[in-house]
Structure 1
Amino acid sequence: MEKSRVLIVGGSGYIGRRLVKASLALGHPTYVLQRREIGLDIEKIQILLDFKQQGARLVEASFSDHRSLVDAVKLVDVVVCAMSGVHHRGHSILMQLKLIDAIKEAGNIKRFVPSEFGIDPARMADALSPGRNTFDEKMVVRKAIEDAGIPHTYVSANCFAGYFVGALCQLRPLIPTRDRVHLHGDGSVKAVFVDEDDVGTYTIKAVDDPRTLNKTLYIRPPENVMSQMELVKKWEKLIGKQLEKISISEEEFLASKKAADEIVQAGMDHFYHIFYEGCLTNFEIGEDGAEASKLYPEVVYTRVEDYLKRYL
């Protein structure tokens, strides 16, 4: 079967780079949006040029020029967006709404994957503020997609390994400690950890798959579904040393939010829902979803213990 032409928006970003890599590796004609606003950002320019050397086609467009977006979309069959709004609240949603308008006008897209890749926002209607703002914004994007009748796949990739495995599920630092670790409660709540390269692979695998059409793809590699304590024990085994463990109760964790700024508070809210409430694993995937490792058993995903070895 002929592979779809894929446009990656936000290709120079943290997950975007993995999506471009996966799209090329899986044989898709791969296009990367080169925003005219890139200006003097030499690192992004170098990343884009590297993509070009690897066989990707750079497509220049601007979010302030609707026609350029429409023209870019018309070149491909699938659009995957990986724009991050983590540091600029509301930025990602505005850009994605403009992209949706362009996709709607172009009328040729067989699949759109919006920028999500974390906790499924459809399950977070009762999330704490300010953390819930992220989920509310993603739901605005979803409504726009569905109102426009655009074929889509939503991707819930759970916990990025670089942020959670390296940190042993602590808010900081991102390098695993060798002395003491703060546990969320008793550290027994299950979460899901995913290597970022695997996020790219599973996402691109799904773009031509009728089984993921208009559904949510949950990336839940079975051997990477574990608690914080199980993760800590894997690290202890690797370093041959027991860490001092300090338990942080639910009440203590929520009380500590008060001294943080809004961005940190939002991150803490997400940690609360993951490691105290178990929002990633306390539900069964229904008919409106699919699990990536079951759909694509041929993908050899990175296990948590192998990810930890890079820190030795």
Structure 2
Amino acid sequence: MGAKSKVLIIGGTGYLGKRLVKASLEHGHETYVLQRQEIGVDIEKIQMLLSFKKQGAHLVIGSFNDHLSLVEAVKQVDVVICAVSGVHIRSHQILLQLKLVDAIKEAGNIKRFFPSEFGTDPARMADALEPGRVTFDDKMVVRKAVEDAGIPFTYVSANCFAGYMVGGLCQPGHILPSRESVTILGDGNKKSIFVDEDDIASYTIRMIDDSRTCNKTVYIRPSENILSQKEVVQLWEKLIGKQLQKPYLSEQDFFNIMKGQGYEEQVGLTHYYHVYYQGCLTNFEIEKHNEEASALYPDIKYVKVEEYLKQYL
């Protein structure tokens, strides 16, 4: 087996980024984390970066406002993983990633790039509703830039982050499970896919030196975590030994609620609509030219939804 790739993680202090740094180090990769000059006096991020350094990571100074600094950072590694948050719609994430693509193209040495996706596969969301489709459209712009530049890539579709979806029993605006009631979206029977965030990082890092994942979309679909909202609720009820009240929210009522929200809230709610009213994560088969992560790496013992819920007891 050859030497493991050197990895640069962009957005290493973020929600998924910090897990990617941890997984990269645990898997024995020489790991670099971009320390952005714009970090200012954000003491929590500074301390996190210093903790990475203590664990063996290299901190690389760079800025999205300084093209040459990005090029120099990229030249130090073999693989770049971008985990820049998507909370700043269009005005932020897409611009940063396009700058990163330009730097990777100029550096010319990267054997794999993982753009910041890690959710619903945007290639399947051409018919997504406004305003939520903006996130999918933006990701497709980044994909086109990557492919036009001839950069080897892996797109990771991790479906639903367990912390955001399982914790709140699949309800928008909730991250802790209620012991009293839960609003069922639609009929509650559309299947979704839930993945522990640490598992997302572990699967992603395993893909780095795997030729089977190059220039492909890899879906993380652990079979026992393909569940409907009702099934998630049932697991929680089993754990607490109590039945919850379950009011149902029709599609029209969901849209009425969404219309009264601000722009970014509407973007997020549109995603809930496609997942829980349309079943967009499970209404297709993975093509032969793409891959499924838990099949590629059966040795990874992923966290099952029931186990994930136990932490809330």
Band the TM-score falls in, shorter-chain normalisation? over 0.9
Say whether the 8 Å CA contact 2:24–2:205 is kept in structure 1. Answer: yes
The equivalences for 1:246-285 within 5 A come to 246-285=247-286
Q: Residues 75 and 109 of structure 2 are in contact (CA less than 8 Å); yes or no, is this contact kept in structure 1?
A: yes
Q: What's the counterpart of residue 299 of structure 1?
A: 300
Aligned residue identity for 1:108: N
Offset of residue 252 of structure 1:
1.3
Q: What SS class does the counterpart of residue 7 from structure 1 fall into?
A: strand
Q: Is the 8 Å Cα contact of residues 167 and 176 (structure 1) preserved in structure 2? A: yes
Q: Secondary structure at the match of 2:278?
A: coil
Cα distance in 2 for residues equivalent to 1:228 and 1:247: 12
Q: Percent identity?
A: 66
1:259 and 1:72 mapped to 2: Cα distance?
A: 44
Matches within 5 A, 1:1-312: 1-312=2-313
Normalising by structure 2, report the TM-score. Answer: 0.98
Read off the aligned partner of 1:207 and give its amino acid letter: I
Q: Is the 8 A contact 2:33 2:58 kept in 1?
A: yes
Offset at 1:90?
2.4
Counterpart contact for 1:90–1:137, Cα < 8 Å: no
1:88 CA displacement = 4.7
Q: C-alpha separation between the residues in 1 aligned to 2:52 and 2:40?
A: 18
Query: Mean alpha-carbon deviation: is it higher for 63-72 or for 140-149?
Result: 63-72
Counterpart CA distance in 2 for 1:287 and 1:78 is 25
Q: Structure 2: which amino acid aligns with 1:86?
A: V
Q: How far apart, in 2, do the equivalents of 1:120 and 1:183 lie? A: 24
Q: Deviations over 1:4-61 (max 9, x none)?
A: 0000000000000010011001110000000011110001001100000000000001
Report the Cα distance in structure 2 between the residues aligned to 1:85 and 1:119, rounded to whole angstroms: 13
Verify the 8 A CA contact 1:166 1:176 in the aligned structure 2.
yes
Displacement of 1:64 after TM fit?
Answer: 1.0
Give me the whole-angstrom Cα distance separating, in 2, the residues matched to 1:131 and 1:46: 34
The answer as to whether partners of 2:89 and 2:264 remain within 8 angstroms in 1 is no
Across the two proteins, how many residue pairs are aligned to each other?
312
Q: 1:133 to 1:88 in 2, by over 3 A?
A: closer
Secondary structure of the residue aligned to 2:113 is strand
- How far does residue 289 in structure 1 lie from its aligned partner after superposition? 1.6
What residue identity is the alignment partner of 1:289?
N
| Structure 1 moving runs of 4+ over 6 Å | none
Q: Distance in 1 between matches of 2:94 and 2:267?
A: 17
The answer to whether the 8 Å contact 2:90/2:138 transfers is no
In structure 2, C-alpha distance between the alignment counterparts of 1:173 and 1:80, rounded to whole Å: 29
Which amino acid letter does the alignment assign opposite residue 240 of structure 1?
Answer: G
- Residue deviations 1:253-308 (CA, integer Å, cap 9, x gap): 11221111111111110000000110000000002321000000000100101110
Gaps of 5+ in 2: none
Amino acid at match of 1:248: L
Report the CA distance between 1:172 and its aligned residue: 2.2
For the residue of structure 2 that corresponds to 1:243, the secondary structure is: coil
Contact preservation (8 Å) 2:119, 2:156 = yes
Aligned to 1:244, the other structure's residue is in SS state coil
State the Cα RMSD in Å: 0.8
> Given that residues 165 and 231 in structure 1 are in contact (C-alpha distance below 8 angstroms), is that contact kept between their aligned partners in structure 2?
yes
Q: Distance in 2 between matches of 1:179 and 1:101?
A: 51
Secondary structure, in 3 states, of the residue corresponding to 2:32?
strand
2:156 counterpart SS class: strand
What is the CA–CA distance in structure 1 between the aligned matches of 2:109 and 2:287, rounded to whole Å? 29
Q: For residue 85 of structure 1, what is the amino acid of its counterpart?
A: G
SS of equivalent residue, structure 2 residue 105:
helix
- Alpha-carbon distance in 1 for matches of 2:106, 2:302: 37
CA, structure 1 residues 287+90, in 2 after alignment: closer, same or farther (shift >3 Å)?
farther
Does the residue aligned with 1:181 lie in a helix, a strand or coil? coil
Equivalent AA in structure 1 for residue 196 of structure 2: D
2:89 and 2:251 map into 1 onto residues whose CA distance is 29
Q: Deviations over 1:201-230 (max 9, x none)?
A: 000100111111000010011110000000
- Between the aligned partners of 1:278 and 1:42, the Cα distance in structure 2 is 41
8 Å Cα contact 2:89-2:135 kept in structure 1: no
